[in-house]
């Protein structure tokens, strides 16, 4: 079963994408900012913005999902 059919897995994939894009944007800001109109890099650029601006909420969501995965 893919992550798109399971809500918990979908949330984990989205959180991992946000965290990875934020990390990559920290080390390669010019690459992502220059190509933000491109479809794939544009989605990563938007995820990086979410990770930068809402980092406390993303961190809390990561901790909650880790706890749910540990318990469940």
Tens-place pLDDT, residues 6-64: 888 888 899 999 999 999 999 988 888 888 888 888 899 999 999 999 999 999 999 99
Q: What is the C-alpha separation between 25 and 49, in angstroms, rounded?
A: 9
C-alpha span between 9 and 4 (Å, rounded): 7
**Whole-angstrom distance, CA of residue 8 vs CA of residue 15:** 11
Whole-prediction pTM: 0.83
Q: Which token pair is 8?
A: 């918990």
């Amino acid at each position: 079963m893919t992550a798109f059919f399971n809500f918990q897995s979908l949330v984990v994939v989205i959180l991992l994408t946000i965290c990875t894009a934020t990390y990559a944007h920290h080390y390669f800001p010019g690459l992502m900012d220059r190509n933000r109109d491109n479809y794939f890099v544009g989605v990563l650029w938007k995820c990086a913005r979410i990770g930068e601006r809402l980092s406390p909420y993303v961190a809390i969501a990561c901790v909650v999902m880790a706890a749910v995965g540990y318990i469940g």
